Structure 1
Amino acid sequence: MWYLPEPDGVGHQYGPQSQELHDMVQKLDHFLGTFLDRLEKLPHYPNIHLIVTSDHGMGATSSDRYVDLKPYIKKKNLEYMIPGNPVVFIQPKKNKVNKIYNKLKDIAHIQVTKNLERPEHWHYNNVERAADLVVVADSSWSIGWDTLPTAWHGGTHGYDPINSDMHAIFYAMGPALKKAYVHPTFENVDIYNLIAHLLNIKPAPNDGNFERVKGMLRE
């Protein structure tokens, strides 16, 4: 198993539709092709399973798609704020949650949520590391605090994972897997259960679901 940091870095700097990212993907494709050529020469190649995947997608950002939170929130009303893009954690002072929520809830291109009211697929309800308010930008939009809009260019990730531009790639091959098969979308946490099945080991308790990936297996 190995991890390649690209094309994430190039995607952040230049954006997912840039020539720079295209060139990096070609470079990685050549690298993978060389690896496969050598893999095929191994005597146990027919028994090998290979999975190529990524941990997320990438959304294009731009200086003309930016929401500054500073005009809507007074710092004196905050315990703390963890700024980020495209997710911001806001912990209001006692009795200020609704006031700040109401200030933010109608702003275009962001979604502000309270604890216990967040989408289930975020897994952010009753989570200690999540503040009382979590703000998420719409896909390809940026959020910040008193940041120059020109700072936002290139690409980023962390948007709602239901968005297609956040979806990862997944390619797999091996004796237990169907050939020329296109599987419906599934969650990355399901890959662990697939690997455990291919290795014939019992998986530890996890958030994945083998039922969502078993369709790619041969009968």
Structure 2
Amino acid sequence: MRRPAVLVAVVLAALLAPGSGAPVHRRGLPPGPRNKLLLVSFDGFRWDYDQDVDTPHLDAMAREGVKARYMTPAFITLTSPCHFTLVTGKYVENHGVVHNMFYNTSSKVKLPYHATLGVQRWWDNGSLPIWITAQRQGLRTGSFFYPGGNVTYQGMAPTLSRKEGVLHDYGNESEWRANVDTVMAWLTREDLHLVTLYFGEPDSTGHRYGPESPQRKQMVAQVDRTVGYLRDSIERHNLSASLNLIITSDHGMRTVQKAASDLVELHKIPDFTFQDVEFELLDYGPNGMLLPKEGRLEQVLAALQHAHPRLHVYRKEDFPRAFRYAGHPRITPLLMYSDPGYVIHGRYSVQFNNGEHGFDNEDMDMKTIFRAVGPSFRAGLEAEPFESVHVYELMCQLLDIEPEANDGHPGVLRPLLRSGSTPSSWPPPVMGMLGVALLLAKAV
């Protein structure tokens, strides 16, 4: 065997060796204080919402930092699953927060979104979010309204946290500024290293009035003013040189087909009856789960699978693998989704939103934003689209912490960073090793 072939074999052996995908502890950053990180999520901010509204502050972030053309969220494109992907780097089937609602197929308990935020066993399901990983490595963290940020994980909670109330007014701009002030105090007086901050808009407005409505445009302008207030606050608190700021979202928003002649209504499908179903999770946008009664699965599947051209029904094991969703024990034996723009009506036609999400994450209306600025980020860079699953690895690099095992890749978003802002490491990332192997193979 000639020498290049030997090198190829060595590299490939390293790739295939057990543990070769294990996280690498990233040390060796330039000396000095560690930079802090603020992750801000504006729920339901679609990737193109800045194109029909004047957004000078988001535009300034793009000029002075990094802007992605768009970011692809995880499927299922709901608030809790997508937010948990951002802080764990895992696809939904691997972190287990598979819905906005807690549910138990045995007890038939179903809890709404706000109640689910406080159910520890729903979130603490084996995956450690970045708050806990950072604290285990000596940092202090905080979560302000961020989904999953106010419970404990393996006995540990974020250093500081706030949880929104069930009747919380998502659109109160004065409260938004007060929340920013609190977060600034956390980063300065409380010396937190990582804070996640959540705003429930423009999602709520998009649901109520639709993504093309003037009300949504007004809310995007409010978001932009808040970004300006936030960046001014960072400057006033002398954090500009030591704080990296990421502004993103969980998913986009799409106009609901409310007047269509072909609505997806399960209660109107002739061969289907809810008497064959033990448990259902329906009437929550374009997705549904069913647990058929014993011995009725094939009957229910046959009744629904080809009953409507806009409804797609699968056995759990046959659900499209590209979604990275169905492989978790919490998923029921039958699950379904509808075409973009169509929601699934269960026992009654009760959904009245003008805007909705939860659709296929490849639908452009589900794509969302990513902006970043700070001492570690390059300036004036427009990045190609990427998946949200990679943001976790980026945040770990920014905080110089060793990540948990995850589905992201440390090399995907590294080009967003200035040279020298993250340490080099060996072995190189898997894609880098593959590249070396391919180059060497050409010499054989």
Secondary structure of 2:418 counterpart: coil
C-alpha distance after superposition, 1:70-113 (max 9, x if no partner): 13321222122111221110112233323322322221112112
Pick from 407, 428, 435 the counterpart of residue 207 of structure 1: 407
Aligned partner of 2:392 in structure 1 is 192
Identical columns (%): 29
Q: Confirm or deny that 1:145 pairs with 2:342.
A: no
Larger displacement relative to structure 2 (130-139 or 64-73):
64-73
Gaps of 5+ in 1: none
Pick from 236, 250, 275 the counterpart of residue 76 of structure 1: 275
Secondary structure of 2:278 counterpart: strand
Aligned partner of 1:63 in structure 2 is 258
When residues 208 and 45 of structure 1 are mapped into structure 2, their CA distance, relative to the original with a 3 A threshold, is same
Which amino acid in the other structure matches residue 67 of structure 1?
V
Pick from 45, 68, 88 the counterpart of residue 240 of structure 2: 45
How many residues get paired?
A: 218
Q: Confirm or deny that 1:126 pairs with 2:327.
A: yes
Q: Within 2, Cα distance between the matches of 1:98 and 1:126?
A: 20
Q: Within 1, Cα distance between the matches of 2:230 and 2:239?
A: 15
Structure of higher CA gyration radius: 2
Contact 1:59–1:139 under 8 Å retained in 2: yes
Contact 1:53–1:169 under 8 Å retained in 2: yes
Q: Within 2, Cα distance between the matches of 1:39 and 1:126?
A: 42
Q: Within 1, Cα distance between the matches of 2:253 and 2:305?
A: 25
Q: Within 2, Cα distance between the matches of 1:102 and 1:156?
A: 28
Greater relative CO, 1 or 2 (CA 8 Å, sep 6+):
2
C-alpha distance after superposition, 1:148-179 (max 9, x if no partner): 37x43311111121212111211011232222
C-alpha displacement of 1:142? 1.1
C-alpha displacement of 1:43? 3.6
Contact 1:62–1:152 under 8 Å retained in 2: no
C-alpha displacement of 1:127? 1.9
Contact 2:305–2:313 under 8 Å retained in 1: yes
Which amino acid in the other structure matches residue 280 of structure 2?
M
Aligned partner of 2:362 in structure 1 is 162
Which amino acid in the other structure matches residue 34 of structure 1?
Y
C-alpha displacement of 1:3? 0.9
When residues 211 and 111 of structure 1 are mapped into structure 2, their CA distance, relative to the original with a 3 A threshold, is farther
Q: Within 1, Cα distance between the matches of 2:316 and 2:244?
A: 42
C-alpha displacement of 1:44? 4.2
Which amino acid in the other structure matches residue 265 of structure 2?
D
C-alpha displacement of 1:33? 0.8
C-alpha displacement of 1:217? 2.1
Larger displacement relative to structure 2 (139-148 or 190-199):
139-148
Secondary structure of 1:23 counterpart: helix
Aligned partner of 2:376 in structure 1 is 176
Under a length normalisation based on structure 2, what TM-score does the superposition of the two structures give? 0.46
Aligned partner of 2:216 in structure 1 is 21
Larger displacement relative to structure 2 (100-109 or 195-204):
100-109
Q: Within 1, Cα distance between the matches of 2:359 and 2:342?
A: 9
Q: Within 2, Cα distance between the matches of 1:185 and 1:147?
A: 39
Under a length normalisation based on structure 1, what TM-score does the superposition of the two structures give? 0.90
Query: Runs (4+) of structure 1 moved beyond 3 Å?
Result: 41-44
